[in-house]
Structure 1
Amino acid sequence: MTHNDSPLLQARGLTKHYGMRLGCADVSFDLYEGEVLAVVGESGSGKSTLLGLLSSEVEPTAGSVHYRMRDGAVRDLFALSEAERRFLLRTDWGFVRQDARDGLRMGVSAGANVGERLMAVGARHYGRIRESALDWLGRVEIEADRIDDTPASFSGGMRQRLQIARNLVTRPRLVFMDEPTSGLDVSVQARLLDLLRGLVADLGIAVVIVTHDLAVARLLSHRIMVMRQGRVIETGLTDQVLDDPHEAYTQLLVSSVLAA
């Protein structure tokens, strides 16, 4: 982890109601540069709502999210204009979606999927863009001769690796990941996790990863937040929480994994 003393992202009292239904309630935490935070819990625990709030895709009922920009200014995400928010998502942030089809442009080539992100940060030289795209395809273990193929012709695991390349090519400081390994074969999952862990560590990226899989949390994250019914019920260093959970619900989650 890097050593900037001020948080990269600060969430305070984040709450979201969908009519009478609670999405999440009163979630507060700080995230620092290079830190990986896993948000875990069963389906309906509020973790995906929280990810939507943090990435400013969902408006909160109450609470705030502040982000430290590259110039050092700390901005309230919900006070940004739509254009500023979109620019953040294209440049300083990444978002790896659960279904790669939601995070890729399926009708354009693999190279164009990666190149588009570079163009968003001002790259204009076609040769250099293509060179960077090739370099990144190599990093995510996609053969160079697939650069002109569309993601529609790729396997699920390849699409997910391409989505990772598309997100990381601009060297974002913060990446959101929503169940990035779900729906993939176990062997494909293992390879993808290994790849992700290496890239995140090499680039020093801060990550918020939502997962129901505690093995994913253990492998990738420094810290963990356990959610249940919209609330954070336990938080701490990943190994400490998973090896010695205090809350009965966390104990149940851990034991159900051990028993599986």
Structure 2
Amino acid sequence: MSALLEADGLRLRFGAAPALDGVSVAIWPGEVVAVVGESGSGKSTLLRALSGQITADAGTVHYAGQDVLALSEAGRRRLMRTEWGYVHQNARDGLRLGVSAGGNVGERLMAAGERRYDSIREVAAHWMERVELDPSRMDEPPRNFSGGMQQRLQIARCLVTEPRLVFMDEPTGGLDVSVQARLLDLIRKLAKEMGLAVFLVTHDIAAARLLAHRILVMRRGQVVEEGLADRVLDDPRHPYTQLLVSSVLAA
């Protein structure tokens, strides 16, 4: 089995500072990979480079044999509408607040080619129920929902086309602890049921332990440690990883 997405030698500078300094990463089908590190470590920049939102100064990104960096803008948009999904930290960045909850889910289906109104509503209702939202509220706008509910709606919108790879940028950031736990359980369940590959950026070590098969630790634009989640968190080898883990244990 080949890697679903593979990047090699990614380099990117913002001014004098290296945001990515020779980063290589592979994501396998059905694998959840978490990237952890302090603010400014380069983890969000890596997420944006892999998902085609920014272009690295050097390096390659391949998805299912395709050279992502060589795709046209239309080709990248097509990937993002169908085989890729993106979950923003702030759900409002991933939703259209002026469109109903069901419409938000249905829009992605329409972008993928579905045109039958009844089918779109039926699938939207199914997905609202699947992310633990009441389908009877599908005609309400997202602004009527709580932050945790908006995040679950964004996940429904993202997964309705059954993508193969989902990028997640701090999906539990800013939510209450109890809401975070419920959302993490939902993400873990859906990823397992659908066989999703997930690339997750998080500052939350507990979330990384719960969700990830493998963890990358970034510092100053470089991956300083990589391995199976339990190994990295229970037996960290790089001094920076040891510092990250010990700071969580001391909190």
TM range (shorter): over 0.9
Q: Which stretches of structure 1, 4 residues or longer, exceed 2 Å deviation after superposition?
A: none
The answer on 1:174 being equivalent to 2:170 is no
Counterpart in 2 of 1:11? 7
- Give the aligned residue type for 2:59: G
The answer on 1:238 being equivalent to 2:229 is yes
Counterpart in 1 of 2:188? 197
Counterpart in 2 of 1:37? 33
Separation of aligned partners in 2, 1:106 and 1:121? 21
Separation of aligned partners in 2, 1:52 and 1:29? 14
Counterpart in 1 of 2:128? 137
Counterpart in 2 of 1:187? 178
- Give the aligned residue type for 1:124: R
- Give the aligned residue type for 2:220: Q
Separation of aligned partners in 2, 1:155 and 1:101? 11
Displacement of 1:29: 1.9
Counterpart in 1 of 2:82? 91
The answer on 1:25 being equivalent to 2:21 is yes
Per-residue CA distance 1:115-140 (angstroms, 9 max, x = gap) = 01111221111111101000000011
Unaligned runs of 5+ in 1: 69-73
TM-score normalised over the length of structure 2: 0.99
Per-residue CA distance 1:234-255 (angstroms, 9 max, x = gap) = 0000001000000111011111
SS at match of 2:199: strand
Counterpart in 2 of 1:251? 242
Query: Which of 199, 208, 227 lines up with 2:199 in the alignment?
Result: 208
Point out the more displaced range, 47-56 or 22-31.
Answer: 22-31
Q: Provide the aligned C-alpha RMSD in A.
A: 0.6
Unaligned runs of 5+ in 2: none
Displacement of 1:18: 1.0
Separation of aligned partners in 1, 2:81 and 2:96? 14
**Percent same amino acid at aligned positions?**
65
Separation of aligned partners in 1, 2:32 and 2:79? 19
Per-residue CA distance 1:64-84 (angstroms, 9 max, x = gap) = 10010xxxxx11111000000
